[in-house]
A and B are shown apart, each in its own frame.
Chain A
């Protein structure tokens, strides 16, 4: 048996894990929405996050706009891009019986975005260094980085807004209805294309928000997105597919698992154990760890 480290280290690990995991969570919320209405595993989500990160970087170095302030630009742009993306790329495929078609469009989009980024910004690792990048803050008696905490807040705020939208607005209700049963929702007069487009718009806007968090916290390169997509999928499965708060919680849980595995076992095994947990959850609790039966979103 290994000795348990002192509690302050455990607290530090938990905090860092949770803060990092929130980023997977916000990506997973976007995936969850898109999956909910379209039953599409949107593999390009990670690439969109990195694209947003590069966009934030360009705004910062080109126009001097603070990364966190650029949320005000990135999120609306994300909404628009998501809407257009659905109308241009996925609208026709969504009506197709064979869902491989939309999956492959997502894969093609991932290739396209990744490589366009390489052409435009080069394949090297990039980052955003601001005056506060190296600043730490004191939280619950342990120190953590300011940017990570901001990323966590962005994730919470993003998920909270999506929750409010889904719960309190009539359009949100339509999206939820479509996620539960598209046929029945269509019979009630909900246009599948509209809810799909809305889900896409919000999903990409969330990718934008995640992009801000990534840009300020980590160095990134055009190909870093795919692993994000995979991690977001794991978070999604942990939280229960179609469950928005569950997706955020799943992301945080995944962050915690990664932090603990890195500390107690070894960094090399992080992914294997994360995916092992993922498989176990899929197999034994496919409805997710945080969902109550018959209640969604």
Chain B
């Protein structure tokens, strides 16, 4: 990444961070639009880590997103687990970092549990199918979870309405930047190089002393952690966590789509893809409300026909492709 580009990125992030201070910005439509772009960009980075850099196509992101969301809602309600722990402070506050990290940790733990057998046995398409099946199983488990998960209705978080979206915006922006930075640093480290080596040639990587299974499972769990944190963030926004909303396949399909449109295996591709695709979807939703999913479907097909390598690789020079 060139030096000039670094500065552009810093200025852009600073401008976005200061945006809520612009009078009227918070109430403007684009404010919540940006919040969702950040949320999807985090999910896209999560998918990019395991699939773009790791080469393991996972179709289970929605399961990890949902696990993070449910973990947060259950903790927030506080009356099922560790009721006494939260008695001192009734309910947890918004964006409690411990809760968000736990949301990620539960997802990462589930990914490690399911990833170990899946990744040691399955390759390529079989892994993709396995994660898809896993997602469906998790959803059914939550539907049948009784009082603990609120069954088919889900859980309503105890908080009252928030009167400003500012904190959500900042947290989402911060998480998006942190995720990108963390993955950027990671990919320059020994571990990142090992991950790319495994993607490019598993046999050669293994011959060079890389523990292939360990690297793959770690990438899968790391990706799940990011998705879990995103799910946690969404709970703080939506309050009502239900199996049909947070385990919706869109939480897997849209980030996947955004990453591929932006550029798989690039650091900024997921962010760019999230911005462009969400803008297209949202614009269609506003301009042609009755047909917007038709437009979305059409956009994906056209993007894949004419930009199969993604925006980053098609337009931006190799310099920007980290």
Would you call B294 and A100 a contact (CB within 8 A)?
no
Would you call B298 and A233 a contact (CB within 8 A)?
no
Chief secondary structure at chain B's binding surface: helix
Interface residues of A in 209-252 (CB under 8 A from B): 226, 230, 233-234, 237, 241
Q: Is the C-beta of B308 less than 8 angstroms from some C-beta in chain A?
A: yes
In the complex where A100-B264, A107-B253, A279-B130 touch, is A116 in contact with B294 (Cβ < 8 A)? yes
Q: Mark A255-273, 1 if CB is under 8 A from B, else 0.
A: 0000000000000110110
Q: Mark B116-135, 1 if CB is under 8 A from A, else 0.
A: 01100110011011101110
Q: A101-B260, A272-B140 are in contact. List 14 more A-B contacts (CB 8 A).
A: A41-B129, A104-B304, A108-B297, A108-B301, A109-B297, A111-B300, A115-B294, A116-B294, A272-B141, A278-B129, A279-B137, A282-B121, A282-B122, A283-B130
Q: Mark B215-251, 1 if CB is under 8 A from A, else 0.
A: 0000000000000000000000000000000000100
The 8 Å CB contact of A237, one of B121, B129, B137, B260, is B129
Return A287 CB to nearest CB of chain B, in Å. Answer: 10
Q: Which residues of B contact A233 (CB under 8 A)?
A: 129, 132
6 closest A-B pairs (Cβ-Cβ)? Answer: A111-B297, A108-B300, A112-B297, A272-B140, A115-B293, A108-B301
Q: Which residue of A lies closest to B253 (CB)?
A: A107
Would you call A286 and B122 a contact (CB within 8 A)?
yes
Q: Is the C-beta of B256 less than 8 angstroms from some C-beta in chain A?
A: yes
A interface vs B, CB < 8 Å?
35, 39, 41, 89, 92-93, 96, 98, 100-105, 107-116, 118-119, 226, 230, 233-234, 237, 241, 268-269, 271-272, 275-276, 278-279, 282-284, 286
Would you call A89 and B301 a contact (CB within 8 A)?
yes
Would you call A268 and B140 a contact (CB within 8 A)?
yes
Q: Which residues of A contact B294 (CB under 8 A)?
A: 111-112, 115-116, 119
In the complex where A119-B294, A275-B133 touch, is A107 in contact with B305 (Cβ < 8 A)? no
Would you call B118 and A276 a contact (CB within 8 A)?
no
Would you call B300 and A41 a contact (CB within 8 A)?
no
Query: In the assembly, what is the distance between CA of A290 and CA of B140, in Å?
Result: 28
Q: Which residues of A contact B130 (CB under 8 A)?
A: 279, 282-283
- How many B residues, CB 8 Å from partner? 40
Would you call B301 and A112 a contact (CB within 8 A)?
yes
Q: Is the C-beta of B282 less than 8 angstroms from some C-beta in chain A?
A: no
Query: In the assembly, what is the distance between CA of A284 and CA of B132, in Å?
Result: 17
In the complex where A101-B308, A116-B294, A119-B294 touch, is A279 in contact with B134 (Cβ < 8 A)? yes
Q: Which residues of A contact B249 (CB under 8 A)?
A: 226
Would you call A104 and B140 a contact (CB within 8 A)?
no
Q: Is the C-beta of B290 less than 8 angstroms from some C-beta in chain A?
A: yes
Would you call A271 and B305 a contact (CB within 8 A)?
no
Return B120 CB to nearest CB of chain A, in Å. Answer: 9
The 8 Å CB contact of B291, one of A92, A107, A119, A226, is A119
Would you call A278 and B118 a contact (CB within 8 A)?
no
